[in-house]
Amino acid sequence: MAREFHRADRVADAMRRELAQLIQREVRDPRLGMVNVNDVEVSRDLASAKVFVTFVGEDDRSKINTSMQVLNKAAGFLRSQLAREIQMRTIPRLQFRYDETSVRGQELSALIEKAVKSDRSHHADDGGDDEGDGKE
C-alpha cells in the first residue's frame, strides 16, 4: 500500500509542474489571468486529482469565480494535453479548486502585525523601556 501512496505523490508533482506550464501556454481565455498552481492532490487510485490554484493580484471574488469556471471547463482539454506530456496509462480527472490558504495566511499575518504594533504602542504609552523581561 505504501508504494501506491508514493506513486500518487510523484504523479501529483509531475502534474503540478506540467499544469502550470499548460495553463500558461494553452488556455487562451481572456477572463483568465495569471494562475499559480499551488498543489495537486491525486487520489490513491489515480482516478481523480484536485488542483489547487490562486490568481496573481486578484481579490475580487466574482472574477475568481469566473476564472474557476474557465479552468473547470478547460479541465478536459488540459487532461488531454497532460496525456501527451506524462506517460501514464490513464490521466486523473481534474477538479480545480481555489486555494484560500495563501489569502488566509496574509490575513493572519496582517492580524499578527496589527496586534504586535498595538502591543508596542500600549507598552510605549506605559512609559516602560523594558522589553517585558520581568526586571524592574
Q: What is the pLDDT of residue 100?
A: 87
Q: Taking all residues of the chain, what is their mean pLDDT, rounded to a whole number?
A: 87
**DSSP line for 9-56:** HHHHHHHHHHHHHHHHHH---TT---EEEEEEEE-TTSSEEEEEEEET
Q: What is the pLDDT of residue 62?
A: 93
pLDDT in tens, 37-87: 999 999 989 999 999 999 988 888 999 999 999 999 999 999 999 999 998
Q: What is the pLDDT of residue 136?
A: 46
Radius of gyration of the chain (CA): 22
Q: What is the pLDDT of residue 131?
A: 54
pLDDT of 130 above 80: no
Q: What is the pLDDT of residue 106?
A: 80
Of the candidates 100, 68, 90, 69, the residue with the CA atom closest to the CA atom of residue 15: 90
> How far is 19 from 105, CA to CA, in rounded Å?
24
> How far is 116 from 58, CA to CA, in rounded Å?
27
Of the candidates 54, 25, 45, 37, the residue with the CA atom closest to the CA atom of residue 92: 45
Q: What is the pLDDT of residue 126?
A: 72
